Amino acid sequence: MTAPTFSMHVSVEQARALFAGLLPAPPVTALALRDALGWTLGADLPALVSHPSATESALDGVACREADTLGAASAPVSLRVVGESRAGAPFVGEVRAGECVRIYTGAPLPAGTDAICPVEQLREEGNVVRLLRPARPGDVRPEGGDFHAGETVMAAGLRLTPARLALAAALGHAQVPVRHWRVALLSTGDEVVEPGQPLLPGQVYDSNRVGLAALLREAGCEVLDLGHAPDSPAALRERLNAAGGADLLLTSGGVSMGRYDFMRDLLLEEGEVAFWKVRMRPGGPALCGRWGGLPVFGLPGNPVSSLVVFQVIVRPVLTGEALPTRQVTAATPFASLPDKTAFWRGVLTGDEVREYPRQGSGVLRSLSDADALVIVPEGQSVAAGERVDVALL
Ligand SMILES: Nc1nc2c(c(=O)[nH]1)N[C@H]1C(S)=C(S)[C@@H](COP(=O)(O)OP(=O)(O)OC[C@H]3O[C@@H](n4cnc5c(N)ncnc54)[C@H](O)[C@@H]3O)O[C@H]1N2
Ligand code: MOO
């Protein structure tokens, strides 16, 4: 028997690296800001303008020369009002000694002024204001204090959160370049049935395709739904060939040891395999390779396994961002696996995590009820009271 030409029993890190090695550079398209929430920035984003665009007031009050107002520390100081500066309608001209200009938050600081006294510290007397304390230079927002025109402010690979979309708008962009993976998604298995259809004995609803499509969209991918293929090499071949135009083909099921696990056999015999089997649970039988040049990731059919492998291996590669992790205290023990990293489903309460009572790879409720994957490295066990890393779902 000849040794396989692909890697077997790879670590989670090796699986990510081998999968990443199959993918082309992330395709990039432009999206309107309102459509870009959750997508990954596909290129560095420069500031098209400075913000603030000019040095401006941080308060409603008057703009004046600080030096004129220092005496207000002991007795009120009077200044003559010579005009007004509003956001969008700046004061034109120069303010001289003994003068001031009414100013509002966000309005440009007039030439000749360097400090602000807020309305709360003013007494109005016609065209004169009396300052009850000295004006402060610190109450201005300097030009470019947030960012300067031309500066690269957001780096490619950032996930677009609401605050980052707001920042992109402030930088002057109406559209943003985003990584736009087109992912063809296929479920396999004779027993798999579309939700809403009657379920005959031995059949199961296609939960994987629903969960995976949602995870893909959440990761900012376009989903090309290839539906579901029965367990037959001919049907599978036909569906795999229909994935043209995609950057990646994601399948679920048919990757393990069974007689009807044709995904594995097809890729082994007619495609290329980069790796098969990852030292993790759930998700051990994951398969990765190519079909006619198209990168393929074969997720295991077990419902928990397919979603966990996506979260732990596929998603970080596509988005460049792993699930966020933190350390918490184990409230229950977590079992060790001699040669696998375990991703046990855990329920968080404050700084503690307890094991979800049923950890079977078919118990989808363990994922829907869990807040975190408790990461127990190969060969290590976690006793109650010990600190443990969790990945937040
Ligand atoms: N002899 C061995 N048997 C198994 C091994 C092994 O190492 N030796 N590994 C087990 C592990 S671990 C997993 S995970 C599964 C993965 O198997 P497959 O990827 O071949 O998946 P299937 O056999 O097609 O299905 C497994 C299970 O999942 C259900 N399923 C499949 N697709 C869906 C779907 N779209 N939605 C909901 N549920 C789905 C399917 O009905 C089966 O119950 O193999 C173990 N076996
Ligand atoms: O990974 Mo299998 O996922 O342990 O059931």
Q: What is the per-residue pLDDT across 194-237, written as a single tens digit (0 to 9) for each?
A: 999 999 999 999 999 999 999 999 888 999 999 999 999 999 99
pLDDT of residue 100: 98
What's the rounded Cα separation, in Å, for the pair 366 and 342? 14
Q: What is the per-residue pLDDT across 34-83, written as a single tens digit (0 to 9) for each?
A: 999 988 999 999 999 999 999 999 999 999 999 999 999 999 999 999 99
Complete edge-to-edge strand list for the sheet that includes strand 61-64: 115-118, 61-64, 99-103, 77-85, 128-131, 122-125
What residues pair up with 358 in beta bridges, in sequence order? none
pLDDT of residue 5: 83
Which of 380, 262, 392 minimizes the C-alpha distance to 315?
A: 392
What's the rounded Cα separation, in Å, for the pair 309 and 324? 15
What's the rounded Cα separation, in Å, for the pair 129 and 77? 8
Residues of the chain with pLDDT under 50: none
Three-state secondary-structure class, residue 153: strand
User: Which of the ligands is closest to the CA of residue 228?
Assistant: 1
What's the rounded Cα separation, in Å, for the pair 40 and 86? 38
> Angle at Cα 26 formed by Cα 22 and Cα 29, nearest 5°?
150
- Gap from CA of 190 to ligand 1 centroid (Å): 12
The closest-lying atom of ligand 1 relative to the alpha carbon of residue 361 is 14
Specify the long-range contacts of residues 98-101, CB closer than 8 Å, at least 24 apart: 98/68, 99/64, 100/62, 100/63, 100/64, 100/129, 101/62, 101/63, 101/64
Rg (the chain; Cα; Å): 30
CATH topology of domain 7-27+181-319: Molybdenum Cofactor Biosythetic Enzyme; Chain A (3.40.980)
What's the rounded Cα separation, in Å, for the pair 281 and 116? 63
Same fold, 33-51+145-178 and 325-392: no
Residue nearest to atom 28 of ligand 1 (CA): 302
- Gap from CA of 100 to ligand 1 centroid (Å): 77
User: How many Cα atoms occupy the beta-carbon half-sphere of 4 within 13 Å?
Assistant: 13
CATH topology of domain 33-51+145-178: Molybdopterin biosynthesis moea protein, domain 2 (3.90.105)
Pocket residue to mutate for ligand 1, from 225, 263, 264, 302, most atoms within 8 A of Cβ:
302
- Gap from CA of 191 to ligand 1 centroid (Å): 11
pLDDT of residue 30: 97
Pocket residue to mutate for ligand 2, from 361, 363, 364, 376, most atoms within 8 A of Cβ:
361
What's the rounded Cα separation, in Å, for the pair 8 and 84? 74
* CB-based contacts of 63, cutoff 8 Å, min separation 6: 57, 85, 91, 95, 100, 101, 103, 109, 110, 113, 115, 116, 135
Q: Which CATH class is domain 56-141?
A: mainly beta
- Gap from CA of 386 to ligand 1 centroid (Å): 33
The closest-lying atom of ligand 2 relative to the alpha carbon of residue 304 is 3
What's the rounded Cα separation, in Å, for the pair 86 and 104? 6
What's the rounded Cα separation, in Å, for the pair 27 and 13? 23
The closest-lying atom of ligand 2 relative to the alpha carbon of residue 284 is 1
Residue nearest to atom 30 of ligand 1 (CA): 301
- Gap from CA of 305 to ligand 1 centroid (Å): 8
For the segment(s) 325-392, the CATH number from 3.90.1170.50, 2.40.340.10, 3.30.300.180, 3.40.50.300 is 2.40.340.10
Q: Say whether the ipTM exceeds 0.95.
A: yes
pLDDT of residue 82: 97
Neighbours of 64 (CB within 10 A): 30
User: Which of the ligands is closest to the CA of residue 259?
Assistant: 1
Pocket residue to mutate for ligand 1, from 232, 252, 256, 287, most atoms within 8 A of Cβ:
256
Residue nearest to atom 39 of ligand 1 (CA): 301
Residue 36 · residue 165 · CB < 8 Å: yes
Pairing of strands 182-188, 222-229: parallel
The closest-lying atom of ligand 1 relative to the alpha carbon of residue 283 is 14
Single pTM value for the model: 0.83
Give the residue extent of every domain in the chain: 7-27+181-319, 33-51+145-178, 56-141, 325-392
pLDDT of residue 265: 87
